[in-house]
Amino acid sequence: MVNLPDKQELASIYKFQSADGTFKRQVSSFRDHISSERGAKFPPEKDRYVLYINLGCPWASRANLVRTLKGLEDIIQMVVMDYILFPEGWMFTGEHGTVPEDPLYGFKKLSQLYFKANPEYSGRYTVPVLWDKKHATIVNNESSEIIRMFYNAFDDLLPEPLRESSKPNGGLLPPSLLPEIDAMNDWVYNTVNNGVYKAGFATVQAAYEENVINLFNSLDRLEKILQEKESEGPYLFGKYLTEADIRLFPTIARFDVAYYTLFKCNLWMIRYHYPYLHRWYMRLYYDKNEVTRGAFGASTNFEAIKVGYAHTPRMQIVPLGPAVEIPPEEELNRTFINRKDIRLLLSNEVLDMVLSKEEIATFEYDIREE
């Protein structure tokens, strides 16, 4: 018989801050892989695996996005849980268009699935979860590894156009760009994807300020990369969509509607201060061509994001704004001006009225850099 944790243990499991007031993300515990190698425990098979997600979580959003991007909807079953984090963890409630119970075992809590896989499990019950119905266990609960499995592990079951071997430039993770993509993933994860959490869950001022500064320095860096790559193509590495775009998108989709307000990452909004990054995001969100297959927009649910983040362990107030969650697609065709243009158009007197000295210095710095 599985012994579920009591309330005190649950409170400890879902304590996000360390003793020093900083946020430390738990290392994922289940790290097996889908493999076509002979004798593999988890070979690629249709209708064998289940992806558990909720629509608010950015890590689960990655996996949901790639499942659609790769055309795996008929191969890998997906179960959507409630996007509100309860004291017992993620749950099956039937609310908000989600399933009322686990379709495999009738469970009401994700924790029950974890304990079915490992009765001695003692960590957080996180999503995404990739479940194997044959062995009744978790294959993997690390999003970065799940999406890489989805890139090509099931390609033999897909039509030729959806296989990585059929894509130009080597697919979503081209070998020629792998060192550069891995390098970008590293700093983007630490300062942006996870950086918003380090800021939002910090309980000491110094940790909060350090991580907010690191976050916006990295957003500045991403803005510059996209500006320099614009002549080559619309993506972070130019002409072709890669894993770097996939891993960044869920964070940017949540930035103005959740992280800016609820996590106090509020030096700047993406839509007003980062024109190249904002245009990159809007293109992906609205694009439904054969490259993106509408996966970026389809994996983004603003209600789940706003309500879900409002119910993290903090004040349960859902932000009213922004009034427009994402500008209409027509905005993509409008000419935008960057910070240099703003500085050149406005007089010093106007700038003194609307900007702080620090912001004016930022504009001057940007001009020198450009």
Pairing of strands 49-54, 129-132: antiparallel
What does the alpha-carbon distance between residue 118 and residue 116 come to, in Å, rounded to a whole number?
A: 6
Instruction: Verify whether residue 265 is a known catalytic residue.
Output: no
What does the alpha-carbon distance between residue 359 and residue 339 come to, in Å, rounded to a whole number?
A: 11
What does the alpha-carbon distance between residue 62 and residue 247 come to, in Å, rounded to a whole number?
A: 7
What does the alpha-carbon distance between residue 286 and residue 159 come to, in Å, rounded to a whole number?
A: 25
Residue entry with tokens 């950015």: 58
Q: Which of 53, 57, 181, 215 is catalytic?
A: 57
Helix (H) or strand (E) segment spanning residue 66: helix 58-69
Helix (H) or strand (E) segment spanning residue 53: strand 49-54
CB 121 within 8 A of CB 114: yes
Token digits of residue 182: 């891995």
131-162 burial, b if ≥16 CB within 10 A, otherwise e? bbeeeebbbbbbbbbbbbbbbbbbbebbeeeb
Give how far Cα 203 sits from Cα of 19, 22, 185, Å: 9, 7, 26
Burial class (CB in 10 A: 0-12, 13-18, 19+), 41: middle
CB 226 within 8 A of CB 276: yes
CB 150 within 8 A of CB 63: yes
Token digits of residue 128: 């995404």
Classify the C-alpha dihedral 255-250-113-144 as positive or negative: negative
Active site residues: 57
